[in-house]
Each structure stands twice: as C-alpha cells, then as structure tokens.
Homo-oligomer: A and B are copies of this chain.
C-alpha cells in the first residue's frame, strides 16, 4: 500500500508539514494510548510505528504497522474523540503531527488532498477487511500464512529460491497479529520448515513455496496491493 505522503505532490505534502509540529520518539516509546483524546494526525518522517489494542494483561493484538512517509491516528482524528489504539515506535522515529482542526481546514479547502486521504483510508479499510477473512476463515495455519504473505508483500525480494523477507520476523510478532498462541505459531512454522515450504536464518525468512500459501488462502480473487499488515 502506497504511503499517504507519496500519493500527493511535494507542494501538498509541504503544505501539511508547514502546518505540523516536529516530534521525536525513541524506540519503544508510546506516542499515545488507547482512550487518549485524539488531537493529532501523525506523519512518519522516519521510523516505524505499531498500532495495537490491549486485550488482557500481557496480551496485545497488533492492528497494523506503518512506516516512512505514511501517517497514523486517522481513526481518532476523522472518526472519534479518542484514539482506539495504542501507538508505539518500533524504531527511533521522527514524526510530524498536525492538529485536528488545522487538518480539517486544509482538507475542506483542498479537495485534491482530501481525495488522497479518502483513497488512503479506503485502502486501509480494504486491507483490514481482507485480514479478517484470512485470519478467521482458514484456521491457525491460514492466519500464519496470511502474515507471511503480508510481510512478503511489504518487504519481500523475489529470488531464484523464493521470496526473501528483508525485515526480521519474530514468532511472537506473528502471534500478536493473529491472536494465536506463540507455541502454536512456532509449531506451524516448524512444520513448514520440515516440509520445505519456508526456511529461515534466525529472524530472516525465505518463502520457498509462496503458492502453498496462496492456495491455502484462496488468493486468486484478491489483489496484492492492499494485502499488507
């Protein structure tokens, strides 16, 4: 999925930045908490952000992640008074934040920018709905497969051996995306390793048989563009 800022002209992006305030966060910092008043939309200059919901003591569900040139906080800013997720940095991050009212004024005056926002949110919605399908309809294996496919769409490099994922993936990250126990995810991944479907060098995975995943998830109908985490 194309990051929000890359969809617009430099001038439009500049307009948003000049109306924003620069804020820095170190790795692992919390930018806002679920339930906080939703005052800002955040643009990611550098870094990566994980949005998640807490579902119990020591239990989290990752809702999505966003990276450079993208934005987050739309859920609160456009649709409610409060953020419905917690936002946390995955890496050191430099963000620009624009307040609610300033943003609305810009969008009202500038339908072109607004249309980019609508498309961006609509694609996020698309991604979210496709996730529901994948996570629910094909059991635990389907859910894990879906996470791998989505990583491969985001960070995959095609090689002769298969698709190499350039971002490190931890088993427990996968587990947090799909709400399945770490142990079960571990067992599924190891079964696939034995069968030669995937391979890994510690946290770096190689999908040797992407078709196995696509078949499992009945991917024919589904475009790849919005199949992301």
Contacts and interface: CB of A to CB of B under 8 A. Distances in A.
A125 interface: yes
A126 B84 contact: yes
Contact of A122 (B79, B129, B178, B218): B79
Q: Chain A interface mostly helix, strand, loop or mixed?
A: helix
A118 B107 contact: yes
A34 interface: yes
A136 B139 CA distance: 11
A55 interface: yes
B218 A56 contact: yes
A104 B84 CA distance: 30
A162 interface: no
A133 B62 CA distance: 9
Contacts of A54: 221
A128 interface: yes
Given A121-B125, A125-B121, A61 B137 contact: yes
A202 interface: no
A132 B130 contact: no
Contacts of A154: none
A223 B179 contact: no
A61 B123 CA distance: 19
Interface stretch (A89-97, A109-117, A166-174, A188-196): A109-117
Contact of A136 (B75, B114, B117, B179): B179
